[in-house]
Structure 1
Amino acid sequence: MPTPSSSKPRARSAPAAVRPDVAPKKAPTQSRAVETYERILATAAALLGEVGIERLSTNLICKRLGLTPPALYQYFPNKYAILHELGQRLMLRQNELLEPWATPATMALPEARFARSMAEMFLETVRLTEQMPAGVWVTRALRAVPSLQDVRNRSHDQVTELLLGAFLAAHPAVDAARARLCIRLAIDALYAAQELLFDDPTQLPEAVADVMSEMVAGQLARLRRSAA
């Protein structure tokens, strides 16, 4: 006689979601192919700003470009691969802006001056993102589309190591694991503050920059004091 538990049908686990392939099919080498590749990216960025993530499609890109779908599919298997490339370019530009700032000298600044310096860097990053083709929409896509989130995560990991190296060079006595965690959380918090500005235009960029930078500077200052 079956027990009450065995008489119930077992719930089936939901199948894992299949993520689209985001790897480009091939890199262009000849000048005409490079031009087509860049036109696809530029057109996708323009359309992304016009129609948003959901309505963007390879057919729409081809129609705007006067390109056949097979010609586009030589380079990108789907729209997510195009967004992936746009996301990588945005993250690269943001990281290039950050590199000259991320030095031991910056990390050794007194708390108030460090917070001010970080606020200025934050505002420069916001301006850069707004000036990049569809930079705001690409930022949203990196957050909203699961297959694109690795672009942001990899970039944040790279920035964490960059800042950590500078911070430890300036303060070698601090706990390295604790410092890495603080910096990683700070990067995510600053990125969330940037998204807040894009999603809520009523927020004042300078006010958001000041509050976030003071929070981060305060945490890093406590870490420095704990090792003194």
Structure 2
Amino acid sequence: MSKPDLLVKKAPSQARAVETYERILAACVELLAEVGIERLSTNLICQRVGISPPALYQYFPNKYAILHELGTRLMQGQNELLLPWSVPATFELSEDAFAASVCDLFMQTLELTKLMPGGVWVTRALRAVPSLQDVRNGSHDQVTELLWQPFMVAHPKADPAQAKLTIRLSIDAMYAAQELLFDDNSLDPLAVARTMSEMVSAQFMRLRRPCC
């Protein structure tokens, strides 16, 4: 099957158009939680917003393009938390201090995702819809590069390829732990965060050891 068109047709410029654009996104979030991904449709979104399908199609070609926009916003919001953290000094911390900083970052990301409109449901959509997985994978690639560069500045003798692989796997593991918390309310978020952070920290400490 060919992938659906995920590009926004036209970015709104006028205030009224921006309001309609944002209402479409908000309605998608509401309906996603109410009916799920499969039953979500542009017709339902139009009914919720109170606009005609042609009005929606000015901006989005299909429901997946709307979800793509929501997913991109979510990933950008999460990644912004990393900007002050991703500096060489972070990667020079002791194992315990580094684990604590990763744990804090995990909890901040978890809270931000819960607070963002439809954050949990959009996270699920990015996992469940094959055509949307590039949003998550592309974001993780960007974050890998963002973290890899300051790590190599702090530890220039580390194996660059192994460092990049470890960072990418750590990002995916932490994201999977976040998804697990959304799927299983019986788990203690702080316990999950601490366990994952200790595992990630141990791997980073291995990277820092000189190769034999």
Query: Normalised by the size of structure 1, how large is the TM-score?
Result: 0.91
CA shift digits 1:122-165 (9 cap, x unpaired): 01100000001110010011111011011001100000001001
Which structure's residues are more often helix, by fraction?
2
Matches within 5 A, 1:42-121: 42-121=26-105
- 1:166 aligned residue (110, 125, 150): 150
Q: Between Structure 1 and Structure 2, whose CA radius of gyration is higher?
A: 1
CA shift digits 1:170-199 (9 cap, x unpaired): 111101111000000000000000000000
Q: What RMSD in Å do the two structures reach over aligned CA positions?
A: 1.0
Matched to 2:185, the amino acid is: P
SS of aligned partner of 2:81: helix
Instruction: Give the structure 1 partner of residue 109 of structure 2.
Output: 125
CA distance in 2: counterparts of 1:58 and 1:66, whole angstroms: 12
**5+ unaligned residues in a row in structure 2: which ranges?**
none
Verify the 8 A CA contact 1:107 1:114 in the aligned structure 2.
yes
Matched to 2:63, the amino acid is: K
Give how far 1:226 is off: 3.2
Matched to 1:62, the amino acid is: C
- 1:24 aligned residue (1, 5, 8): 8
Verify the 8 A CA contact 1:111 1:217 in the aligned structure 2.
yes
Query: Normalised by the size of structure 2, how large is the TM-score?
Result: 0.97
**5+ unaligned residues in a row in structure 1: which ranges?**
1-16
CA shift digits 1:59-92 (9 cap, x unpaired): 1111111110110011001100000000000000
Matched to 1:66, the amino acid is: G
